[in-house]
Structure 1
Amino acid sequence: MILNWNCADDTIRCLRAVLGGSHVPDVIVVDNGSSDDSIGKLDRVAEPFTLLRLDRNLGYAGGMNAGIREAEARGADRVWLLNADAVPRPDALATLLRHADRFDVSTSLQTTSAAPDDPDAEPYVVAAMLPNGKVRPVRCAGCDQAAHEVDMVTGAALLLRLSSVTGVGLFDERFFHYKEEFDLVRRIADAGGRIGFVCASEVWHQRGASLSGSSPRARYYHHRNEVLYVWKHYPHPWRRLLIGEPIHYKNVANALFRIAAGGRARRRSSLAVLAGYWDGVRGIHGPTERF
């Protein structure tokens, strides 16, 4: 399943990589209320896939939830969620499926660079252990084990067992954009599900095709949803103080410094950070038109 929002060229590249793989699934492309010419471009694609059109942008959570419901209606037992800016290697899905019986959620090794065929693409952290709530990144660029059981994985390329998802509920659409996959994976793990990092499977990820990760709006969502996530999963104040909030205090201090010392662009970005924290503390969720 591929989520498209105003990025049809990336989506088509991802679609063709999936269909060119060694294991070819049924493919659903969810158009998340695009306002550009995405629908026209997708309608001209000759390769077989299903286009699910949404009337408005429901965010990552809402868009993927719509696709998951469609997959469930078709009788699927697993669903592979891909960002539009991801390009799976030919054996990526087949390798994930070889380990699928072990895990309720799994992800691939993910690399990033200027282009998918760049031989110098660098792996980045997509999995972690969480001893006592502290994040310990798991770094592996392929090993004899081929797969590792971990506590957390990120969402650019997630393979989900649908029975595990329905047992805890779909993506929480209050997050809208960013951290919704952390929340879902955490709920599955808390329910006894096993989380896997399959380092023998590889997906290239451009990162930020739908919403620039450095834009003020992206910063707003990121910091707001960090607070929403920590407060949802660590309801006791002392746990929040020990686990999530020290880094937030540092970020707020840095944002205040940049507002005082920076130019217009830096001030706008820093104001978005502060607004995100403030709205997170107040429990504000869903989409925003600010920034």
Structure 2
Amino acid sequence: MRLAPLPDRVVAVILNWNCADDTVRCLRAVAGGSTVPDVVIVDNGSTDGSVEKLERLDGPVTLLRLDRNLGYAGGMNAGIREAQARGADWVWLLNADSVPRPHALSTLLRHADRFEVSTSLQTTSVDPGDPDVEPYVVAAMLPKGKVRPVRCGGCAEGAHEVDMVTGAALLLRLARVIEVGLFDERFFHYKEEFDLVRRIGDAGGRIGFVCGSEVWHKRGGSLSGSSPRARYYYHRNEILYVRKHYPRPLRRLLVGEPIHYRNVARSLFRLAAGSRERRRASLAVLAGYWDGLRGVHGPTERF
């Protein structure tokens, strides 16, 4: 039941990939919120029986089934197109392993006249009931291209204008997304939200970190950040992002971001002297850098 009026129509998109239990938990949190949007669940080509579980859900929820895994970018794009077809003004993109607190959406919408894309304060732990949660940095300022994280555990102001947001829960004005283009599916997984938010900012859209809105995000959910495949995508897509957004990408990589030297040096050292697991992870990092420099994009099955 809708407990608070929506200033504009909102469609929430939850992306599922082999994690139906997480998706159902997220859906219940959304449905139990003080402001309840329409909900679209996109199944991203699951192979674990997720579809059968999700098809048994009661209530007004739409399930979109994709034939194969299109990554975060492609899966969310399918949900965004569905939201557009429904005449939505806003689309709320949620990872399946997130749990919005009851006032998360209503608090974001309270600042809707100020920001065209915004994210919530996010905490992470293994379980949403765990009192020992950790803050997750989802916002940053970018003075002269340098990343300066913005940290706030909640304040009287309730929101901050920033240069970049990311995270497991993004609220976007749909008209602006359509104007600048949807997620770039070449990224497949990681950095696609950086790219979209940057394009919105470059087009004049204001970007907000709403610390008064809270979302819990499962630690280790989705693709484990420590897995070789995740390491490959992360480092490859960092290079693809720089190639796309900086006029002199090699100068940016060689001069502006010395962390890449450390990443490569550490990987080479572990490749020579590390355990089998570390050697595999190091190969993924080095392959990511190499493929990024070559402009390789899309999904990989190498790791």
TM-score by length of 2: 0.94
1:249 to partner: Cα distance: 1.5
Question: SS of 2:284's equivalent?
Answer: helix
Match of 1:289 in 2: 301
Question: Is the 2:242–2:252 contact (alpha carbons within 8 Å) kept by the matching residues of 1?
Answer: no
Residues 109-124 of structure 1: pairs in structure 2 closer than 5 A:
109-124=121-136
- d(CA) in 1 for partners of 2:40, 2:165: 23
1:243 to partner: Cα distance: 2.6
Of 221, 240, 255 in structure 2, the residue corresponding to residue 242 of structure 1 is 255
Which residue type is aligned with residue 280 of structure 1? Answer: G
Match of 2:153 in 1: 141
Match of 2:114 in 1: 102
- d(CA) in 2 for partners of 1:130, 1:48: 41
Per-residue CA deviation, residues 251-270 of structure 1 (Å, 9 max, x unaligned), is 00000000111111110010
- d(CA) in 1 for partners of 2:176, 2:60: 28
Query: Which segments of 5 or more consecutive residues in structure 1 lack a partner in the other structure?
Result: none
Query: Structure 1 vs Structure 2: percent identity of aligned residues?
Result: 80
1:45 to partner: Cα distance: 1.7
Per-residue CA deviation, residues 38-59 of structure 1 (Å, 9 max, x unaligned), is 0011112223210011011000
Which residue type is aligned with residue 223 of structure 1? Answer: H
1:61 aligns to 2:99 (yes or no):
no
1:119 to partner: Cα distance: 2.2
1:212 to partner: Cα distance: 1.1
Question: Is the 2:98–2:168 contact (alpha carbons within 8 Å) kept by the matching residues of 1?
Answer: yes
| Count of residues in Structure 1 that have an aligned counterpart in Structure 2 | 290
- d(CA) in 1 for partners of 2:296, 2:80: 26
Question: SS of 1:189's equivalent?
Answer: helix
Which residue type is aligned with residue 211 of structure 2? Answer: C
Query: Which segments of 5 or more consecutive residues in structure 2 lack a partner in the other structure?
Result: 1-12
Match of 2:8 in 1: none
Match of 2:27 in 1: 15
Which residue type is aligned with residue 123 of structure 1? Answer: P
Match of 1:205 in 2: 217
1:214 to partner: Cα distance: 0.6
Question: Is the 1:231–1:240 contact (alpha carbons within 8 Å) kept by the matching residues of 2?
Answer: no
- d(CA) in 2 for partners of 1:28, 1:183: 23
1:240 to partner: Cα distance: 3.6
Match of 2:170 in 1: 158
Q: How has the CA–CA distance of structure 1 residues 60 and 207 changed in structure 2, closer, same or farther, with 3 Å as cutoff? A: farther
Question: SS of 1:102's equivalent?
Answer: coil
Q: How has the CA–CA distance of structure 1 residues 240 and 256 changed in structure 2, closer, same or farther, with 3 Å as cutoff? A: closer
1:83 to partner: Cα distance: 0.4
Per-residue CA deviation, residues 35-79 of structure 1 (Å, 9 max, x unaligned), is 111001111222321001101100000000010000000000100
1:130 to partner: Cα distance: 0.3
- d(CA) in 2 for partners of 1:128, 1:242: 21
Of 164, 172, 192 in structure 2, the residue corresponding to residue 180 of structure 1 is 192
Task: Point out the more displaced range, 112-121 or 158-167.
Answer: 112-121
Question: SS of 1:158's equivalent?
Answer: strand
1:258 aligns to 2:278 (yes or no):
no
1:96 to partner: Cα distance: 0.4
1:100 to partner: Cα distance: 1.0
Of 203, 217, 226 in structure 1, the residue corresponding to residue 229 of structure 2 is 217
- d(CA) in 2 for partners of 1:118, 1:89: 14
Task: Point out the more displaced range, 235-244 or 281-290.
Answer: 235-244
Q: CA RMSD in A?
A: 1.0
TM-score by length of 1: 0.98
Which residue type is aligned with residue 107 of structure 1? Answer: T
1:211 to partner: Cα distance: 1.0
- d(CA) in 1 for partners of 2:108, 2:146: 27
- d(CA) in 1 for partners of 2:46, 2:251: 43
Match of 2:291 in 1: 279
1:74 aligns to 2:86 (yes or no):
yes
- d(CA) in 1 for partners of 2:74, 2:288: 20
1:155 to partner: Cα distance: 3.2
Match of 1:232 in 2: 244
